[in-house]
Amino acid sequence: MVGALLFVHGAGGFVDDAELAHGLADALGLDLRMPELSDTAMGFEDWAEPVRRHLDQLGPEDSVIAHSFGASILVRVLAERHRPWPVRATLLAMPDWTPRGWDVADYAFTGPEPETDLALLHCGDDDVVPVSHLASNSTVLPSARVIEFPTGGHQFDGMIDAIAAAWT
């Protein structure tokens, strides 16, 4: 049985994140599930509700990767309650919405840590979400594996294999 990759795209990123999502699904040998989330209704619950529905459909062979704003939503949804799946999730270029970062309370993750095994990945040359957000997020998610790549920008250009290798 082939598992699926639930990929939660970033804000307005359904098209922009498609190459990253498809590349990761191929590299990991998983079928891609990438729901198109609203680019106009941007409140936490507007995104959290569909993410919850998709998480509730996951099984033991399935994985989750979320990018940017989608990672911000995913980590908070994972922290709401214990779910048997996913066993692990990867958060790419996740913004810090606390006062240490962009200071938007509606999106800020303040804990508790999800029971899911997490990895925080960021590129040092990200010109959308500064790499300083990686250090801030790692303080509120101290159990997460933290990986900083020197290059790749916000879209992790040329980093599919490195992300897939970090996944295993």
**What is the per-residue pLDDT across 80-130, written as a single tens digit (0 to 9) for each?**
999 888 888 999 999 999 999 999 999 999 989 999 999 999 999 999 999
**What is the per-residue pLDDT across 120-165, written as a single tens digit (0 to 9) for each?**
999 999 999 999 999 999 999 999 999 999 999 999 999 999 999 9
Amino acid at 155: Q
Confidence of residue 166 (pLDDT cuts 50, 70, 90): confident
Q: Is the pTM of this model over 0.85?
A: yes
3-state secondary structure of 22: helix
pLDDT at 168 over 70: no
Q: Which residue is associated with the tokens 């804990």?
A: 111
Estimate the share of the chain in helix, then strand, then coil, as percent rounded to the nearest 5: 30, 20, 50
**21: phi then psi, degrees, rounded to nearest 5:** -65, -50
4-42 CB burial, b ≥16 within 10 A, e <16: bbbbbbbbebbeebeebbebbbebbebebbbeebeeeee
Confidence of residue 1 (pLDDT cuts 50, 70, 90): low
| Torsion angle in degrees (nearest 10) through CA of 17, 34, 168, 162 | -10
Q: Omega of the bond prior to 86 within 30 degrees of 0, cis?
A: yes
pLDDT at 44 over 70: yes
